[in-house]
Chain A
Amino acid sequence: MSELAKPLPDLEQIVEIRDPAVNVDDVMAQIRATLAAHGPLMPPDVPPLGAQSDDGALAFHLTQANLTYDQVFVEMNVMRPNVPLLGGWLARLKARAHELAVYYVNQHAGLQVNFNSSLVRVLSLLAARDAEVRALRADLERLRARLDELERRA
């Protein structure tokens, strides 16, 4: 590989926009401040799929929980009855009945989403804490070994 190419710094440098009329970081800060002041319930951030964790199953299921915790709302889904003459009237009646049912179901679903959100947030915090505990445990093991070694020497 004698003629191996070396990266050419000036050519490989990515040219950034240095003088933006609109700075996207400022805009994001503005949006986040608005949400914090007036926004709706802030759900927990969605961790990236395959999040850095040595427990693949935990990372996968936690990601799934984060993605689906609010998927409980229902929508109208009314099929027109296949009845001659009265079909239109029956469809309107059915739609009204469904609207009423959907209204109450989604009221309940909203409460369920609040609960799910708290639950997922707690699980995410526990998972993060679990990773911390494991790191601390590893530190402890290392320090114990070091202490044993020092005591042996003494």
Chain B
Amino acid sequence: MRRRWGAYVAPGLASAGVWIWVPVVVTLALSFTDWNMVSGAPHLVGADNYAKALTDPDNLAAYGVTVLATLALLPLVVALPIPVAVALWKHAGRLTGFYRLLLFFPVIVAPVVAAFMWQWMLNPVGGLLPGLFAAVRLPPPQLLQSGRLALWTIVALTAWKVFGLAVLLYAAGLASVHRDLVEAARVDGAPEGAVTRHIALPALRPTIALVAFIALVHGAQWSFAFTNVLTQGGPGTATSTIFYRLYQLGFQAFDDGQASALAVIVIVVFGGLSVLALRIGRRPMEAV
């Protein structure tokens, strides 16, 4: 029975190997070379790409944007869904399914489709939001045209897209709490705040770490389509996160050695952070 296990795992292992593990090694190697991906062979340039990764102003701007975007996204998709999930768990009753349906819908909408919907909502001509401002004689906010505001807009849209997933993850965490416990606490006259603090929140601790981990690792992927459709990283470099910068360097400027160095930096920093998040949750892969 143990002879032929290889045949069972080979196709899956080969796929992950060819498309993920080998590329990780290749990226590491490319980060020490100068290559445009198209012509010639990569030749070694030592640590030049890393030096440039840490000094080039556009790269530095991208780190700043990434930190800001992540710091802004975390409360929106890690903290804010908690009270919503608690409300859903405690009070929604027969409408639970209906609220879940509404809240989760943006998660399954294709990213570009969602980006066009929002482009239409925010469009200076005929868009609903500028239209509403005009209706009350206020100048419409330059949500995508002015620097920092454009970044907050992208962050807000990203939060809109994944909020429902976080709520449902928390709702699943709360499902393990016995209803009787809540009823008993209420009959004993415990205020609702105490029910939340002493029953709901402790049950959510591992889920909070999981959501933080997912938001850290996938946050930039979630925002990519919004960025690419709505701002292309602009105005200037205002919405160009490290991931968007990597895409621009690798596939538009064809500076692939530099892009690879940024990729290595990304995997080290974000890998470290996500290990930390999972450690705090003390529930490594079993939750995933």
Is the pairing of A and B real?
no
- Interface positions of A (Cβ within 8 A of B): none
Binding site for A on B (CB under 8 A): none
